[in-house]
């Protein structure tokens, strides 16, 4: 009866162990070469997986052949049975000690090469940027469609709490850039970037996306997706899920449900919605009104299209919040649109943010506003808009540490955004850090005077005035008025405030006349804006009369009464405390 020792001896005699070792060594060499070359060459992962499977399947075959055959200097011969004469004196084997030594040496050399060639080992991907998508239609008139796809993909990825996703404003900073990916990654502080393209032909749309790791640079994934336009919302979610799967991000059950929850949309309604978002993005009055027309068109086509209602709410929030139209003509419409959007789809962060704005700037429902802000950030923790507005809300509540924490988070997501930066400066000023606010404004102005947003000059004027430097505030405010296009009623009111504080009464009164002229032309002039002129002139009775009208109309700027230094001369008046009480400000 053959013992285990006999079996092992026979395996040794037939050189099965030797073949197994050589096979394993060669397989190791192949795998190391694949690991070091396939990824830089962009060879798909499935090729590597196929080779590994073939190598695994080949192992038992090699061992079986080693049992049955032997490779000698005379060629392949059948292994003689034990006891035969040739078994006692086999020809010199081909796979001998020299072969083992060569294989071992090559394996060690390849292992060292593989280790050194990898250099910096890639870490986990926790932050990502989606660069502007390429318009393969070669038609600039289709840019709005491509930009809409870009924004939607960022929004879908933004729902993943384990990822930091750069906002679209900052991602667009790299449109048509010559910068290399590692440089972009360093500037945005991300671990990977997504590049891609969009092609629309008829009622079909194709998006191609590739994921590139940047620490170190390495190709991770490429795929393309083609869908009918009616399924375009599903397309966004599918690409986001594929990226999350590739970088091995852990999704919460709620996030998985959100990414999987899609619906079909009428292509014409979606087209109108994208055009609305395109014009909304400029922030200019004529474009905001055009945006409203497109959002309403989308709703006419599909009355269940939640995104169109959310867009409509956003547009009315800007028109009301920045004194472009009267509060009564904007805030109620913003609320109705936001509530309709949420009734259709509760998981829209944009609609929760708009509703929060209504509750804070119009209704002065401070607890309700905070609930909506927090819900928006639960749904999309990467929304720089929600973070910025929430930070502004916290500042108005005098919760400055929390406000600065939120705005710093927003800056990590949107480092090139004017809105985020100006919110930070605004909050610093409210919190008593006016020198820091001034320096931030100066840095932005000095970095590119020809391209700077004119509103930085108004911010600088406000910060100077907060320090009592009224004369110094005049020059930047006048610069801002000269650069502004469209309505400048708020700026004229603040100019009147500065003249009044400087004792230049006649010039302050001229600003009131200018406001009257604008009102006569049909422009909306906020009573809060008028109040500033009277505060500058130290006419408290007229200032409170204007503020009381602002209270009656629920002017959005009333939300900053507690923190704006412009109202400091009114704070000791009992009427001011009563106004704050009526507005439900927390004590």
Q: CA-CA distance, 493 to 535, in Å (whole number)?
A: 10
The highest-confidence range among 123-137, 448-462, 491-505, by mean pLDDT, is: 491-505
Inform me whether the pLDDT recorded for 431 exceeds 50.
yes
What CATH number does the domain located at 127-264 have?
3.40.50.10070
pLDDT at residue 246, rounded to an integer: 85
Least confident range of 29-33, 207-211, 418-422: 29-33
Inform me whether the pLDDT recorded for 61 exceeds 80.
no
Inform me whether the pLDDT recorded for 111 exceeds 60.
no
Q: What is the mean pLDDT of residues 87-91?
A: 48
Q: CA-CA distance, 414 to 103, in Å (whole number)?
A: 53
pLDDT at residue 449, rounded to an integer: 81
Q: Is it true that 127-264 and 265-381 share their CATH fold?
A: no
Residue 282 DSSP SS3:
coil
pLDDT at residue 399, rounded to an integer: 97
Inform me whether the pLDDT recorded for 444 exceeds 60.
yes
Read off the pLDDT band of 181 (50, 70, 90).
confident
Q: CA-CA distance, 500 to 129, in Å (whole number)?
A: 48
- Burial code of 366-388, b = ≥16 C-beta within 10 A, e = fewer? beebbebbebbbebbbbbbbbbb
Read off the pLDDT band of 55 (50, 70, 90).
low
Inform me whether the pLDDT recorded for 564 exceeds 50.
yes
Least confident range of 43-52, 120-129, 206-215, 537-546: 43-52
Q: What is the mean pLDDT of residues 42-65?
A: 68
Read off the pLDDT band of 70 (50, 70, 90).
low
Inform me whether the pLDDT recorded for 67 exceeds 90.
no
Q: What is the mean pLDDT of residues 81-93?
A: 50
Give whole-number Cα distances, 432 to 395, 398, 400, 427, 467, in Å: 11, 11, 10, 9, 10
pLDDT at residue 1, rounded to an integer: 47
Taking only the tens place, the pLDDT of each residue in 512-548 is: 999 999 999 999 999 999 999 999 999 999 999 999 9
Q: Where are the domains of the chain?
A: 4-118, 127-264, 265-381
Mean of all residue pLDDT scores within the chain: 86
pLDDT at residue 76, rounded to an integer: 54
Q: What is the mean pLDDT of residues 182-194?
A: 92
Percent of the chain having pLDDT more than 90?
A: 61
pLDDT at residue 251, rounded to an integer: 84
- Of 585, 563, 586, 571, the closest CA to residue 430 belongs to 563
Classify the C-alpha dihedral 34-35-41-46 as positive or negative. Answer: positive
What CATH number does the domain located at 265-381 have?
1.25.40.10
Taking only the tens place, the pLDDT of each residue in 300-327 is: 999 999 999 999 999 999 999 999 999 9
- Of 389, 430, 426, 429, the closest CA to residue 406 belongs to 389
pLDDT at residue 45, rounded to an integer: 65
463 token code pair: 């910060």
Q: What is the DSSP letter of 381?
A: T
Give whole-number Cα distances, 489 to 272, 484, 581, in Å: 32, 11, 28
Q: How many separate helices (H) and strands (E) can be counted in the chain?
A: 27, 8
pTM of the shown model: 0.80
């Amino acid at each position: 009866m053959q013992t285990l020792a006999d079996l092992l001896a026979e395996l040794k005699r037939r050189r099965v162990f030797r073949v197994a070792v050589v096979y394993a060594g060669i397989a190791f060499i192949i795998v190391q070469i694949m690991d070091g070359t396939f990824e830089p060459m962009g060879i798909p992962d499935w090729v590597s997986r196929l080779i590994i499977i073939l190598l695994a399947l080949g192992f038992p075959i090699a061992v079986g052949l080693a049992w049955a055959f032997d490779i000698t200097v005379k060629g392949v011969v059948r292994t003689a049975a034990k006891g035969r004469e040739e078994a006692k004196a086999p020809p010199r084997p081909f796979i001998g000690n020299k072969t083992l030594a060569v294989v071992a040496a090559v394996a060690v050399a390849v292992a060292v090469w593989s280790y050194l060639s990898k250099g910096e080992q890639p870490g986990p991907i926790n932050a990502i940027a989606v660069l502007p998508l390429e318009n393969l239609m070669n038609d600039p008139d289709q840019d709005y469609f491509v930009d809409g796809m870009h924004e939607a993909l960022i929004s879908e990825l933004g729902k993943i709490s384990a990822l930091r996703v750069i906002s679209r404003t900052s991602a667009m900073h790299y449109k048509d850039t010559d910068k290399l990916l590692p440089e972009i990654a360093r500037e945005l502080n991300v671990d990977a970037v997504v590049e891609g393209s969009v092609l629309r032909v008829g009622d079909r749309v194709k998006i191609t996306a590739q994921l590139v790791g940047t620490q170190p640079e390495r190709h991770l994934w490429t795929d393309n997706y083609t869908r009918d336009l009616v399924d375009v919302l599903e397309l966004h979610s599918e690409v986001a899920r594929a990226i999350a799967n590739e970088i091995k991000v852990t999704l919460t059950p709620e996030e998985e449900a959100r990414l999987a929850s899609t619906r079909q949309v009428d292509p014409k309604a979606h087209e109108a919605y994208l055009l609305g978002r395109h014009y909304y993005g400029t922030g200019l009055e004529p474009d905001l009104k055009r945006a409203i027309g497109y959002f309403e068109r989308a709703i006419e086509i599909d009355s269940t299209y939640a995104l169109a209602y959310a867009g409509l709410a956003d547009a009315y929030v800007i028109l009301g919040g920045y004194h472009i139209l009267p509060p009564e003509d904007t805030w109620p419409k913003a609320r109705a649109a936001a509530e309709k959007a949420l009734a259709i789809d509760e998981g829209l962060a944009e609609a929760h943010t708009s509703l929060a704005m209504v509750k804070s700037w119009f209704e002065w429902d401070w607890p309700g506003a905070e609930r909506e802000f927090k819900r928006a950030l639960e749904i999309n923790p990467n929304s720089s808009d929600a973070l910025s507005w929430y930070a502004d809300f916290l500042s108005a509540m005098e919760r400055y540490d929390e406000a600065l924490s939120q705005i710093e988070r927003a800056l990590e997501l949107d480092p090139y955004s004017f809105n985020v930066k100006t919110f930070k400066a605004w909050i610093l000023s409210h919190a008593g850090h006016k020198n820091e606010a001034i320096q931030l404004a100066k840095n932005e102005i000095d970095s590119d005077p020809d391209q700077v947003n004119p509103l930085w000059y108004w911010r600088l004027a406000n910060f100077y005035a907060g320090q009592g430097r009224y004369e110094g505030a005049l020059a930047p405010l006048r610069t801002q008025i000269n650069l502004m296009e469209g309505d400048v009623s708020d700026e004229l009111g603040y100019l009147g405030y500065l003249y009044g504080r400087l004792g230049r009464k006649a010039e302050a009164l001229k600003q009131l006349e200018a406001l009257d002229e604008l009102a006569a032309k049909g422009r909306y002039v906020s009573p809060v804006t008028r109040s500033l002129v009277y505060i500058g002139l130290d006419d408290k009775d007229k200032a409170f009369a204007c503020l009381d009208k602002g209270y009656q109309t629920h002017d959005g700027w009333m939300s900053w009464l507690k923190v704006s230094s412009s109202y400091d001369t009114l704070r000791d008046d009992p009427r001011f405390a009563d106004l704050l009480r009526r507005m439900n400000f927390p004590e």
